[in-house]
């Protein structure tokens, strides 16, 4: 469970994981730049990278800005948080869900667990 959270397998798909690892700790990159850095290690399409970045943006995991350059108007993506911050947010979200669903049972379990 701990390893899974650390590897984000339960939260992110393998390609999303690779995209975030490309952007961390705080790189600003265009879609094509991310695609170019990943295409060597796996078979993928530019559109797939664009879709996943948009989904990560909708989930608040990455942010983006519109920039105008010589090639025209493009999105530049950057992580909303560093890796540690992202891990923390996953843990917080998971704990909140457990408490919401199981209420006092979850709270008492956490108290017993961390008292040991």
Partner 1 sequence: MSFQLVSQIVLGLAERPLLLLSMLGLLGLSVGFFIAWRQKTKVWLLHAHLALFIAPFFLLAYALNCSLSIVQGLLAFCATIITKLLLVVIPLSVVLAFLLGYYIMPWLVRKSLVARQTLQFSNILPAHVRTWIIDKAKPVAFSTQNHIFLSVGILELLSPKQIEAVVLHELNHVLHKNSWTKVSAALAYWVSPLAHFSTQHSSADEHRADCFAATTQGSWRHVCLARKKVQECASKW
Shortest distance (Å) from residue 26 CB to partner 1:
21
Residues 23-62 as x/- pattern, contact with partner 1 by CB under 8 A: -------xxx-------------xxx-xx-xx--x-----
The nearer residue to partner 1, 59 or 97, going by C-beta atoms, is: 59
HSE-up of 112 (CA within 13 Å, CB side)? Answer: 6
The answer to the question of residue 87 lying near partner 1 (CB under 8 A) is no
Whether 13 and 31 have beta carbons less than 8 Å apart is answered as: no
Rounded Cα distance, 105 and 68, in Å? 53
Among 74, 94, 98, 106, binds partner 1 (CB under 8 A): 74
What residue ranges bind partner 1 (CB under 8 A)? 30-32, 46-48, 50-51, 53-54, 57, 66, 68, 72-75
């Amino acid at each position: 469970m701990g390893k899974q959270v650390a590897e984000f397998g339960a939260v992110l798909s393998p390609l999303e994981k690779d995209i975030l690892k490309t952007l961390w700790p705080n790189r600003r990159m265009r879609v094509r730049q991310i695609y170019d850095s990943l295409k060597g290690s796996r078979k993928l399409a530019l559109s797939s990278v664009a879709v996943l970045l948009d989904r990560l943006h909708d989930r608040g995991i990455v942010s983006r800005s519109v920039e105008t350059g010589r090639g025209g108007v493009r999105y530049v993506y950057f992580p909303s948080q560093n890796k540690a911050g992202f891990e923390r947010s996953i843990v917080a979200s998971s704990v909140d869900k457990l408490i919401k669903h199981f209420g006092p049972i979850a709270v008492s379990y956490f108290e017993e667990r961390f008292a040991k």
